Chains A and B, each alone.
Chain A
Amino acid sequence: MINISKEEAAYILVDVNLTEANLSHSDQFKSELIALLNDKQRSIWLNMQHVSYVDSSFLGAMVAGLKHAIGMKRDVVLINLQKDIDDMLKLIRLDKVFKIYSTEEEAQQAIA
């Protein structure tokens, strides 16, 4: 469901290979994300380019991953969000807790 596409010193870039991210994926996604955070002890940058819909269960799993990361003084960063999802995150103020960037380069510039 999530695949590492790049490992950097400061972060791991991960592709989320789903188009519709929903209840049936949320538990597995959450455990994979948390396992990766624990294993790598680095921030996770989620490449969301393929995801066109996120339901509230999956959103809950993303936020649970973020809470876990914050507890470790790490982060979960969202990259390449499709417009509908970006709009929805802004509506419910999740853009105030997730760092959101259009591209990996933009994230590198902002975070570095």
Chain B
Amino acid sequence: MAVVSKQILLVDDNPLFLKLLARAFDKAGFSCHSANSGQGALAYLQTSMPDAILSDYEMPEMNGLEFRRSVLRNDRLKDIPFMFLTGFDDEKIRYSGLDLQAIDYVIKDTPVEVIIAKVNNLLHAVNKQRELSEMEIRQTVAALNIKAVPEKIPVINGLTIDFWHQDYQQIPGGDFIDFIEADDRYLFIVLGDIMGKKWKAWFFTFTYLSYIRAAVRFGVSDTDNSTASILQKINKVIYHDEGLRDILSSVSLIRVDRQSGQLSYAGAGDLPLLHYRQASQQLTQIDSSGLLLGLLPEGNYTEQDIALEPGDELFIFTDGLIDFAFADGKKSDYPAFAQKLQQHIANKQSFNELKHTLQQQSAQLVDDSSIIHIYKTT
């Protein structure tokens, strides 16, 4: 795996010093961006998010303090580790910067190697703190025993069901999976993806799951167990829930009839499913019509039957699997994933082997990723 270099923003009105500093940081493995004024730095920060900022204190027009204040006013930028470079050891400057949460001060005469070492130490300390906080939350979550993916896989005659799920950067995110045994006859398979990443998305997965579980059970007890009606009921509730304003989710919902083996499906803003037909040895796309849950009062959900023949496979997955990182940036490429899957099946590899391959590549994932596999045996 490629090592990602740390990005640093260097701000100084002295072009010679800036050049010297940038060269030294480049050599130390950093990826540098230089700005010769506070305004220039703020323009760069509009679209970039460096790991650290090292800024001169004395600058014409906007001095270091004003620049720091502007950074602090921006919620997206305020937590980037920040260090001041001062031309001399002025206690007054240090005191005036105390309320600005500058993490450290470096005197410009300090040898460049020492400045780099200080920045490295600062980044190390910040990362360590972040890891500790995340570990603490992860331990709390584990102690509460709340999970957005099931522990047990349902057993159904004639079908083999399995899934793979990976959180982005090992932090729980917005993907959720559930197998709801509504009654003796019907099983509902749910794959959802709250738009967003990490804890913020994860927090809402449980609200969504609660609504989905309730709607499925009410649907079955009302004898209207169509996947489209269930999605529309959930959509209506979520659309009117003030607490979920702007929290949207995709959902693929599949109902399995244990008696007939019939599969019925409706989707809400989800990616098309992929159906592998053994007879033709081809993957075909199954599109649905519904919109993301919570987007509009009417989501246009429709149900369709999926007829699986023995040897057929069905893949239901979230967008993390179609996002790829390349040297020149990231890209969403559904056909590329479909092709990868087709190749995998052509090589006679099982879903277990696919899980293994995905697991090995999980460091390259750019989002939470989940895939459910349904295989028709008889």
Q: Which residues of A contact B (CB under 8 A)?
A: 1, 17-20, 22-28, 30, 52-57, 59-60, 63-64, 67, 70, 84-85, 87-88, 91-94, 96-97
In the bound complex, CA of A52 to CA of B331 (Å): 7
In the bound complex, CA of A22 to CA of B322 (Å): 15
By beta carbon, the residue of chain A nearest B294 is A67
Q: Contacts A88-B334, A93-B289: A20 and B248 contacting too (C-beta < 8 A)?
A: no
In the bound complex, CA of A41 to CA of B74 (Å): 24
Residues B295 and A97 in contact, CB atoms below 8 Å apart: yes
In the bound complex, CA of A54 to CA of B197 (Å): 13
Query: Given B246, B296, B367, which contacts A60 in the complex, CB threshold below 8 Å?
Result: B246
Q: Contacts A63-B295, A64-B246, A92-B270: A23 and B334 contacting too (C-beta < 8 A)?
A: no
Which chain B residues numbered 46 to 64 have a C-beta less than 8 Å away from chain A?
46-47, 49
Chain B's interface size range is 35 or more
A53-B330, A87-B334, A92-B250 known, 19 other contacts, Cβ within 8 Å? A1-B47, A17-B47, A20-B329, A20-B330, A23-B196, A27-B75, A27-B76, A28-B74, A52-B331, A53-B331, A54-B332, A55-B330, A56-B193, A57-B197, A63-B292, A63-B295, A87-B332, A88-B319, A92-B319
Residues B248 and A63 in contact, CB atoms below 8 Å apart: yes
Residues B198 and A23 in contact, CB atoms below 8 Å apart: yes
A residues near B269, Cβ cutoff 8 Å = 92-94
Q: Taking the complex as formed, is B97 at the interface, i.e. its CB lies under 8 A from any CB of chain A?
A: no
Number of A-B contacts (CB under 8 A): 95
A residues near B246, Cβ cutoff 8 Å = 30, 60, 63-64, 67
Residues A59 and B272 in contact, CB atoms below 8 Å apart: no
Give chain A nearest CB distance to B336 CB in angstroms. 10
Q: Contacts A56-B174, A93-B290: A88 and B332 contacting too (C-beta < 8 A)?
A: yes
Give chain B nearest CB distance to A87 CB in angstroms. 7
Q: Contacts A56-B195, A59-B195, A63-B295: A92 and B331 contacting too (C-beta < 8 A)?
A: no
Give chain A nearest CB distance to B226 CB in angstroms. 19
Q: Taking the complex as formed, is B71 at the interface, i.e. its CB lies under 8 A from any CB of chain A?
A: no
Which chain B residues numbered 358 to 372 have a C-beta less than 8 Å away from chain A?
366-367
In the bound complex, CA of A87 to CA of B248 (Å): 20
A residues near B178, Cβ cutoff 8 Å = none
Residues B195 and A1 in contact, CB atoms below 8 Å apart: no
Q: B325-337, CB under 8 A of A: which get 1 and which 0?
A: 0000111111000
By beta carbon, the residue of chain B nearest A59 is B195
Q: Which residues of B contact A (CB under 8 A)?
A: 46-47, 49, 74-76, 174, 193, 195-198, 201, 246-248, 250, 269-272, 289-292, 295-296, 300, 319, 322-323, 329-334, 366-367
Q: List 22 A-B contacts (CB under 8 A).
A: A19-B329, A23-B198, A24-B49, A25-B47, A52-B330, A52-B331, A53-B323, A55-B197, A55-B323, A56-B193, A56-B196, A56-B197, A56-B319, A60-B195, A60-B248, A67-B295, A88-B319, A92-B269, A92-B271, A94-B292, A96-B291, A97-B296
In the bound complex, CA of A57 to CA of B319 (Å): 12
In the bound complex, CA of A16 to CA of B174 (Å): 26
Give chain B nearest CB distance to A73 CB in angstroms. 14
Residues B47 and A18 in contact, CB atoms below 8 Å apart: yes
Give chain B nearest CB distance to A75 CB in angstroms. 13
Query: Given B76, B292, B332, which contacts A28 in the complex, CB threshold below 8 Å?
Result: B76
Query: Given A1, A53, A59, A60, which contacts B329 in the complex, CB threshold below 8 Å?
Result: A53
Give chain B nearest CB distance to A41 CB in angstroms. 20
B residues near A28, Cβ cutoff 8 Å = 74-76
By beta carbon, the residue of chain B nearest A24 is B49
By beta carbon, the residue of chain A nearest B366 is A55
By beta carbon, the residue of chain A nearest B46 is A1
